Structure 1
Amino acid sequence: MDPQRLKGNFAQVATHGMDVAEYFYADLFQRNPQYRPLFPASMARQQEVLLGALVQIVSLVDDPEQLVPYLEELGRTHGGFGVTAQHYPEVGTSLVSTLKHFSGDDWSAELEKDWVEAYGVVAGVMVKAAGQN
């Protein structure tokens, strides 16, 4: 996994702002309509929270001493909202789909591999912290 490649790609994707979060949730709920009740009726705040978390995670991708405690807290919080280990793979699928969509022609097999690997680490830490491993 190349942290600089992830950071560069996310900087490109992030220029699309809230469209990224809207696309992500639309993709997630289209693939998994049963997940919709886990979220509030109005998604505006949730979309802001998602983008903030992604910015934080990507900014710390090469600093595990700060990233891991952040992910552990995020995992515990998500567990309190009813998110289980079974939700994470589908969330990862929608996240990668979203990143690919907003990367356009810059998307590559290497970039996809980096994101899938990074998400696997993130999800693993979060699930473990929530006590669901």
Structure 2
Amino acid sequence: MDPQRLKDNFALVAAHGIDVAEYFYADLFERNPSYRSLFPASMARQQQVLLEALAQIVSLVDDPERLVPYVQGLGRSHAGFGVTPQHYPEVGASLVATLKYFSGDAWTAELEKDWVEAYGVVADVMIKAADEK
């Protein structure tokens, strides 16, 4: 996994602003309609929270001493909202689909591998933290 490649790609994607979050949730709910009930009726705040969390995770991708506690906190809070380990693969699929969409021609097989690996690490930490709750 190349942290700088992730940071550079996320900068490209994040330039699309709230459209990124809207696309992500549209993809997630299309793939998994039952997940919609885990979220508030108005998604505006949730979309902003998603973008902020992604930006924080990416900014810390090469600083595990700060990243791990942040991600553990996310895992514990998500468990409180009813998120289970079974949700994580579907969220990851929608995240990768979103990143790919907004990357356009900049998307490569190496970049996809990096994102899948990074998401896998984050998901594992979140799941373990939720289990320790």
TM range (shorter): over 0.9
Counterpart CA distance in 2 for 1:130 and 1:96 is 23
Give the TM-score of the pair, scaled to structure 1: 0.99
SS in 1 for 2:83: coil
2:72 matched to which residue of 1? 72
Counterpart CA distance in 2 for 1:72 and 1:7 is 21
| 1:45 aligned partner, one-letter code | R
1:56 matched to which residue of 2? 56
1:1-133 aligned at under 5 Å gives the runs 1-131=1-131
Counterpart CA distance in 2 for 1:105 and 1:131 is 39
Deviations 1:54-77 (CA, angstroms, capped at 9, x unpaired): 000000000000000000000000
SS in 1 for 2:131: coil
Q: Which 4+ stretches in 1 moved above 3 angstroms? A: none
Which structure 2 segments of 5+ residues have no match?
none
Deviation at 1:129, TM superposition (A): 0.1
Counterpart CA distance in 1 for 2:10 and 2:71 is 18
Counterpart CA distance in 2 for 1:73 and 1:110 is 29
Between the two proteins, the alignment pairs up a number of residues equal to: 132
| 1:124 aligned partner, one-letter code | D
SS in 1 for 2:61: coil
Counterpart CA distance in 2 for 1:51 and 1:14 is 8
SS in 2 for 1:130: helix
| 2:62 aligned partner, one-letter code | D
Which structure 1 segments of 5+ residues have no match?
none
